[in-house]
Amino acid sequence: MASEASEIPGWPQRLDDAPAIIYVLDGALRIVYCNLAWNRFAEQNGGAHLCRDTQVGRDVLALTPEPLKPFYGQLFRSVLETGVASDWVYECSSDLQFRRFHMHVARKKPPNKPPMLFVMNSLVIEESIEESHRSPGSPFSFERFRDHNGLISMCCHCRRTRLRDKENSWVWVPELVRRMPLDVSHGICPVCFDLHYLK
Ligand SMILES: [Zn+2]
Residues β-bridged to residue 23: 34, 119
Cα(162) to centroid(ligand 1), Å = 10
Average pLDDT over residues 127-141: 56
Cα(192) to centroid(ligand 1), Å = 4
Q: Output the pLDDT for position 2.
A: 46
Cα(173) to centroid(ligand 1), Å = 13
Q: Which residue has the higher pLDDT, 85 or 7?
A: 85
**Pairing mode, strands 170-171 and 31-34:** unpaired
Cα(53) to centroid(ligand 1), Å = 26
Cα(158) to centroid(ligand 1), Å = 4
Residues β-bridged to residue 24: 33, 118
d(CA 129, CA 154) in angstroms, rounded, equals: 16
Q: Output the pLDDT for position 80.
A: 95
Q: Which has the closest alpha carbon to 159: 120, 107, 115, 109?
A: 120
pTM for the model: 0.82
Q: Which has the closest alpha carbon to 120: 104, 144, 138, 133?
A: 104
Cα(46) to centroid(ligand 1), Å = 29
Cα(171) to centroid(ligand 1), Å = 10
Cα(97) to centroid(ligand 1), Å = 26
Protein residues near ligand 1, an ion, with CB under 5 A? 155, 157-158, 189, 192
Q: Is the pLDDT of residue 16 over 70?
A: yes
Residue 190 C-beta-side C-alpha neighbours within 13 Å = 17
Give percent above pLDDT 70 in the chain: 85
Q: With DSSP H G I counted as helix, E B as strand and the rest as coil, what are the percentages for the chain, rounded to 5?
A: 35, 25, 40
Q: Output the pLDDT for position 1.
A: 45
What one-character-per-residue DSSP string does 15-80 give? HHH-SSEEEEE-TTSBEEEE-HHHHHHHHHTT-GGG-HHHHTTSBGGGGS-GGGHHHHHHHHHHHH
Cα(190) to centroid(ligand 1), Å = 7
Q: State the chain's mean pLDDT as an integer.
A: 84
Cα(170) to centroid(ligand 1), Å = 8
**Which of 61-70, 95-104, 120-129, 188-197 is the most confident on average?**
61-70
- What is the enclosing helix (H) or strand (E) of 155? strand 152-155
